[in-house]
Structure 1
Amino acid sequence: MTTPASAVSHDRPSDSASRAERLVAAEDAFTRGDFVAAEASTQAMLADDPTDGRALLIAGAIALARHAHRDALDLTDRAIAAWRDGDPPASLQHNRGIALGGMGRLDEAVEALAAAVSIVPNHRQYRASLAMLLHAAGRREESFEVAAAASGAPENVIAAAVAFEVGNLGLCRQLLDRSLPGFERGVREQLAEKQWHELRTYHRYLDALLAYRRRNSEPPSKSREPLYVVGDSHSLSPARFPLRLAGRPYVATPRLVFGVKAWHLARAQRGDANLYAAAFARALGSLPSGATAAMSVGEIDTRAEEGFLPVLRRAGIDTIEGRRERIAPAMADALAFAARAAREAGVTLAAITVPAPRADVSDRSAEDGRDVAEVIQLVNDSMREAATELGLGVIDIYEHTVGADRFARPGLHLDSVHLLPSVLGKASR
């Protein structure tokens, strides 16, 4: 959920007209998303002066937008070293932090983002990025403090998620209500639009969870041992509800990793360190030695608009056999990474399968629905096989939720993708 924003400074240089024109052209092209044109302008500037800090800033921002984090870090560091127009702008520290985070260097990322916030304390994007990286680094209390500091701002939702995660539902409600004016006004100032929408989605989800909790009291669970549910937003739904694993009673205890996908873990297993895999490993490492955990990862990978399906479609792979050949190795690598991280943390790990999808999602075509259902089945088949080979337990929520035509039985979902809080416990019996 971290997003490079405020990537370029709009101060105008006093150098030659040609340089000024190129800088304006590069900034304008970057702002409208034409990275090819922006890159052409910056390369022309750097050909004249390889130490042009403003050109390096824009080049680094382009690399960030393309998720080329190593290149972005190199260009940003060069821009900071070469900066001649006073102190380097906060956007350079922000972009440096995003690049470091994208490489899985969480603590260094936090340091850079904190530097950006110290320069411009009330910048919403900088504060949101810092709050997200602090959470990824396992520093939840600090994440909460940063995200809760602004009033009437979308980033309050990050603090609300932390409050829900630790069981303070009243505070979660207060923070959601406090953030709402910013959403209702459509305020996006200083906040990247993608992150604005992601926070709005979390707001709706947390609001639905709180509404469910108001209608349904939590079962007594104080005497049960915690089973840490580590992973994406699905980890929050069963919080503090009872469940069983290998016949033993537990209480679900969430450890949220914002936005983590199976693909992130697979990439890390293949040597491509990244923010989400590092945050997942950090979450496992924060658990008490000897703890039991279940990984909740994979649902985001199965959506119509992101994950496996768009990649398969772009490659023209439309047979179930062809799709299985692509999905199975990725899921095997994802679980291998998770199993290794759990061993290093001294944690016993199980895998939770992806629930069957709703059939009645209003903004999804019938074709998309069928493809999503097929991909979910393939992901779960691969997950079970990999878990068996690795000696991991499985909580098969898919088998508990699936009905006709590979879609979920009615009455099990809280919203379009998340299950009711009680469902995981019922699936684990």
Structure 2
Amino acid sequence: MSNAPHRDKILIVEDEEIIRVSLRKLLERHDYDVSDVVSIKAASENVDFKQFALIISDLRLPGQLGTDLIKMVDPVPVLIMTSYASLRSAVDTMRQGAVDYISKPFDHDEMLLSVRRILSASRHRAVAAKTLGDIALLGSSEAIKKITRVIPKVAASDLPILIQGETGSGKSALALAIHNGKKSTRQRFININCAGLKEAEFASQLDVSSSSTTVFLNNIAELEASLQPLLLRAMQNSQCRFICSSDQDLEKLCKANLFRKDLYYEIDVVSIAMPTMRQRSADISVIIQEILTHFDDVSSGLTEDAAQALIDYHWPGNLRQLKNTLQQAVILASPGEPIDAELIGLGEITPSPTQVTRHLSAGSIDQRITQDYDAPAGLSLEDYFTRFVLENQENMSETDLAKKLGISRKSLWERRNKLGISRKKGDESLSD
């Protein structure tokens, strides 16, 4: 029995006995481990939702709607069953977070297909959630060695820590590593995303913190101005450890009166800069291998071209983008076949600074990107982009600019915002 393969556990919540029994038998015939209850109340009293990989519920149950389960069981996915008459309301309630709906009476093949799809997606999401933390501190580059050396030094300290770095670089993983440091005696880790945070929610989370708690304030630059005094008081009076992260320059925000200076000084006692993928490109190979070990359906690895493409690219989204790119490639790959460069799909990602410099120095700039533009040698990627856009935007639409640069319009817009390059008011006609 110990060698039996793992079976996904599914809970059925359905008050109609014929449907409940029929669905249970169908799923058990296909080797799922199935439990069933007649109501949400019965489920709450008799089962542990966390043990299930999927919950299938009727929309209309005695006393409650099946969609009430969505928040109760999060992050377990919920599949809603609905009669034809209530199909419209089922579609509307998908906005509440149900992963799918299926009409009753259901087709057996359709139900099995939906269950397999949901469980597969859930497994990949679980891998996605796990791997970013696992890979963030991997590698032997000097950039990451500096980070790993500092972790044990600050783990036991009560001093506030500010982790700065680009989106997707692993700031949350570093915060958790500090919390879990060998000398740390803190038992609880509260992760608060400051973007869109409400005062009541924020106050309640701060109230439960204690001397054995680490409070991690992710995206601290997004904290509403009205909540900043509340955080300042908490940091001055609480015994818990505060770690903050930001992908923006807080000092510049202070000068622009967009962030409180006294709060910034309270936060920025110990400052750690999380390196970008561009600063630790030597770690990419080992990170790739570690990510792929988390996917059971990878049997043949990467082709040489695919591996080189991953190493060569700029990765503006850093570790998160690298992980997501590999995850997508794994899903699309044919069983038993290696992942090739086409599946990696890096065509719209800006080349790395090293590649751009190599092209410039050789006097053979990629014609797809720089046709009709004579770029001087020695420009950085940002300088190159800025100069090209400023010199061509009056005569080219956004679509044409993006095409010449070899990126998507979305990437062009994001890079414009990052570098502060806006179109002049007279250029709207070219924005298409």
Q: TM-score range by the shorter chain?
A: under 0.3
Structure 1 or 2: more helix by fraction: 1
Normalising by structure 2, what TM-score?
0.27
Answer 1 or 2: which has greater strand percent. Answer: 2
